[in-house]
Chain A
Amino acid sequence: MHNNGHAVSYLDYKGKHSGIFAWILSTDHKRIGLLYLMASLLFFAVGVTFGFLMRLELIAPGRTIMDAQTYNSLFTLHGIIMIFLFVIPGLPAVFGNFFLPILIGAKDVAFPRLNLLSWWLYILGALLAVISVFLPGGPADTGWTFYIPYSIRTTTNVMPALIAAFILGFSSILTGLNFIVTIHRMRAPGMSFFRMPLFVWSLYATAWVQILATPIIGITLLLVTIERLFGVGLFDPALGGDPVLYQHLFWIYSHPAVYIMILPAMGVISEIIPVFSHRTIFGYKFIAFSSLAIALFGSMVWAHHMFTVGMSETAQIIFSLLTFLVAIPSAIKVFNWVATLYKGSISTDAPLLYALGFIFLFSIGGFTGLIQGALSVNMHIHDTSFIVAHFHYVMFGGTGFGIFAAMHYWFPKMFGKMYNMKTAKVGFWVLFVGFNTLYFPMFVMGWLGMPRRYYDYLPEFHIYHLISTIGSWILITGLIIMFTNFIKALRSKTTYTAINPWGGETLEWTIPNKPPLENFEVIPTITAGPYEFKDNDEFLMKENN
């Protein structure tokens, strides 16, 4: 739109501070977004390594490379890192921070300093989790669910891990709060709610879940800490407390948390599909409202994680029924995405491949979620590797692929560089094949009765574990291809100047790559919805010349 060539980019401007302080004390939402990106990638690398080591251990029955205690700590840390340090902050804190203000035509979030505080809390929580590994007693070995009574009996460092999760929760609450106020108060003139990009809608729904559900886990983990310290008896069965009550409180948060993870990824997909089909999205309002519906219904199904503890029959029926109903808004989204491809002008660049990969893998994850929601079947597959496969399909095949899609989509905007498209596509296919090889056998094993969190297993499961471990090697190869592609692009000297490589209509494509400090020279006035592609003919001509 404007030629802002003279404005200094957010990467280059000089503020009060210099060196690393120009970053870790910066209140610019884009720099904070990058800080989150770097931190979460670091933890992601650690988490992936742990996953890889677990797979190595499981390549054959019996002891392979580690003892049982190490394995138990590994899956605990793997779960805690992946959930609290990686997928929950992944999309909202990285891409939400970077793009939310730009997408609604604002110069920053509502409370920039609070935003920086969130990042610091995140780092503090992460450090505490890291420290717990090295303290005498060894890392926590409870699983990421910290089930009582084991978590108040074990002698490992459960407390630092609990406090870490508590602090991370607060970081997440503050981010959510910031986003809600930003969306309500900072929209550019003309940006009505129904002209907001769907990624913003999904962040809005996510933020409400963060605010409503996270305090519960905060208080619950605090109570476990107090229980360990003082033995107040609130959960300890030896003193009359009820471990099942703990499970309720844990899942009241942790089920909604899975929607904190998936909603922003769904938002990303809703951005990418219309842009790469070069046509307006099908059923904008249905997608927007289904985000809110997921947020709403998602907070009422938590006890489907507890079907085997022995709840009342009425409770079982209600929770199973609601679990099935919560799938409906997801179904609406999937159908609308597919319909958006219809009569489009489809370009199969890497972001779209990742988006379609998301739909496929998330659907498998979602369908297996339905299988788990059926009461009688759950009695059999609960706490087996079927569950492990389900949540990797939704969290990694869903949210993970959503993050990858976002990275490929917004990379040129964020860094002013372009990656090699061929390599990116190769990376996708390797990842996709590796992913299914790694996780699909777990469905089969789970159905055959392989319990989860098992260091050792019966010989009859060997073949599946072997295939799965080989899958993890393929997957990691794909990951390496993808990241080297990005790193190569970042280090190349050629800057990428096309400000709208994909032909998007949302606001980020109107400002320069590596956006300037204040995003917009003049706050834009919005006159149309986010996916009104008017330049059909010109765009096609440019593409084909």
Chain B
Amino acid sequence: MSTIAEHTVGHVHRDDIGSRLGMWLFLFTELVLFGGMFLVYAVYRFTYQHEFHVAAKELNTSVGALNTIILLTSSLTIVLSIIAIRKNNKFLSVFFQISTMVLAFGFLVNKYFEWNIKIHHGIFPGSETLLGKGNGEIIFFGLYYVMTGLHALHVIIGVLLIEVMAGYTIKGRINSTNYVRLEAAGLYWHLVDIIWIFLFPLFYLIT
């Protein structure tokens, strides 16, 4: 408490614990946001058990598995970059941040091709092929596009965030004594990862 009293607002007031608390709360809201989607998923899975089963077979499990590995690795690299900056190794930290971004990019490219193939086969919301299928399958693919799309959006936001962090690290605004922002970005990235860990079995594995 006393540290706060000493500072004035004119200075930039710094409270790492407060920042972390704020970030955790934010991640919490993100989880609730996806929680809403998972709720919708659960309800429809229950209503259309058989059709979900059929539809899930059309997804390519190996592409999904590859993407899971990519994201897990990227979670590791972002942790490594935080460890590096703590040890005051700026170069290594930036290197790992860039690696994270490259992996994320790989994830997106993979996703792009996956969607592209689906769309090529005429499976997208409102398409004739899809409307010809049963209600449950329409909803399965609706959910598939909405949820993986929303997740991909988070991946993109995460990449942008890490890019800014890399800039800060190079300029020295993130350093071995002040790295709470990089930590926050890392937390965000773990969230993106965790959500995928849920999406992957729900869409690709449980058939």
Kindly provide the distance from the CB of B22 to the nearest chain A CB, expressed in whole angstroms: 5
Question: Which residues does chain B contribute within 8 Å of A187, judged by CB atoms?
Answer: 1
Q: Are A223 and B30 also in contact (CB < 8 A) when A106-B4, A181-B22 are? A: no
Q: Is the beta-carbon distance between A185 and B17 smaller than 8 angstroms?
A: yes
Q: Does B36 contact A (CB under 8 A)?
A: yes
Q: Is the beta-carbon distance between B139 and A234 smaller than 8 angstroms?
A: yes
**Which chain B residues (1-48) contact chain A, with CB distance < 8 Å?**
1-2, 4-5, 8-10, 13, 15, 17-18, 21-22, 25-26, 28-30, 32-37, 39-40, 43-44, 47-48
Q: Is the beta-carbon distance between B139 and A233 smaller than 8 angstroms?
A: yes
Task: Kindly state the separation between the CA atoms of A173 and B27 in the bound complex, as whole angstroms.
Answer: 12
Q: Is the beta-carbon distance between B22 and A177 smaller than 8 angstroms?
A: yes
The 0/1 profile, CB within 8 Å of B marked 1, for residues 202-223 of chain A is 0000000001101110111001
Q: Is the beta-carbon distance between A226 and B146 smaller than 8 angstroms?
A: yes
Question: Per a CB cutoff under 8 Å, which of A219, A231, A240, A517 touches B126?
Answer: A231
**Which chain B residues (34-66) contact chain A, with CB distance < 8 Å?**
34-37, 39-40, 43-44, 47-48
Q: Is the beta-carbon distance between A230 and B15 smaller than 8 angstroms?
A: no
Question: Which residues does chain B contribute within 8 Å of A184, judged by CB atoms?
Answer: 18, 21
Q: Are A181 and B146 also in contact (CB < 8 A) when A186-B4, A245-B43, A249-B40 are? A: no
Task: Kindly state the separation between the CA atoms of A108 and B4 in the bound complex, as whole angstroms.
Answer: 11
Question: Per a CB cutoff under 8 Å, which of B33, B134, B142 touches A232?
Answer: B142
Q: Does B138 contact A (CB under 8 A)?
A: yes
Task: Kindly state the separation between the CA atoms of A240 and B28 in the bound complex, as whole angstroms.
Answer: 31
Task: Kindly state the separation between the CA atoms of A283 and B173 in the bound complex, as whole angstroms.
Answer: 50
Q: Does A297 contact B (CB under 8 A)?
A: no
**Which chain A residues (177-203) contact chain B, with CB distance < 8 Å?**
177-178, 180-181, 184-189
Q: Are A239 and B138 also in contact (CB < 8 A) when A234-B143, A523-B5 are? A: yes
Task: Kindly state the separation between the CA atoms of A202 and B29 in the bound complex, as whole angstroms.
Answer: 20
Kindly provide the distance from the CB of A440 to the nearest chain B CB, expressed in whole angstroms: 38
Q: Is the beta-carbon distance between B138 and A230 smaller than 8 angstroms?
A: no
Q: Is the beta-carbon distance between B9 and A112 smaller than 8 angstroms?
A: yes
Question: Which residues does chain B contribute within 8 Å of A226, judged by CB atoms?
Answer: 146
Count contacts between A and B, CB distance < 8 Å: 115
Q: Can you name the residue of chain B whose Cβ is closest to the Cβ of A523?
A: B5
The 0/1 profile, CB within 8 Å of B marked 1, for residues 103-134 of chain A is 00011101110100000000000000000000
Q: Does B186 contact A (CB under 8 A)?
A: no
Q: Does B88 contact A (CB under 8 A)?
A: no
In which size bucket is the chain A interface? Answer: 35 or more
Question: Which residues does chain B contribute within 8 Å of A241, judged by CB atoms?
Answer: 139
Q: Does A383 contact B (CB under 8 A)?
A: no
Q: Does B158 contact A (CB under 8 A)?
A: no
Q: Does A456 contact B (CB under 8 A)?
A: no
Q: Which of A111, A234, A241 has the most CB of B within 10 A?
A: A234
Q: Is the beta-carbon distance between B25 and A107 smaller than 8 angstroms?
A: no
Q: Which of B32, B131, B141, B142 has the most CB of A within 10 A?
A: B142
Task: Kindly state the separation between the CA atoms of A207 and B35 in the bound complex, as whole angstroms.
Answer: 19
Question: Which residues does chain B contribute within 8 Å of A245, judged by CB atoms?
Answer: 40, 43
Kindly provide the distance from the CB of A179 to the nearest chain B CB, expressed in whole angstroms: 10
**Which chain B residues (117-138) contact chain A, with CB distance < 8 Å?**
125-126, 131, 134-136, 138
Q: Is the beta-carbon distance between A189 and B29 smaller than 8 angstroms?
A: no
Question: Which residues does chain B contribute within 8 Å of A215, judged by CB atoms?
Answer: 29-30, 32-33, 35-36
10 A-B pairs whose Cβ atoms sit less than 8 Å apart in the complex: A185-B17, A211-B32, A226-B146, A231-B126, A240-B135, A249-B36, A249-B40, A517-B9, A518-B10, A523-B4
Q: Which residues of B are at the interface with A, using a C-beta cutoff of 8 A? A: 1-2, 4-5, 8-10, 13, 15, 17-18, 21-22, 25-26, 28-30, 32-37, 39-40, 43-44, 47-48, 125-126, 131, 134-136, 138-139, 141-143, 145-146
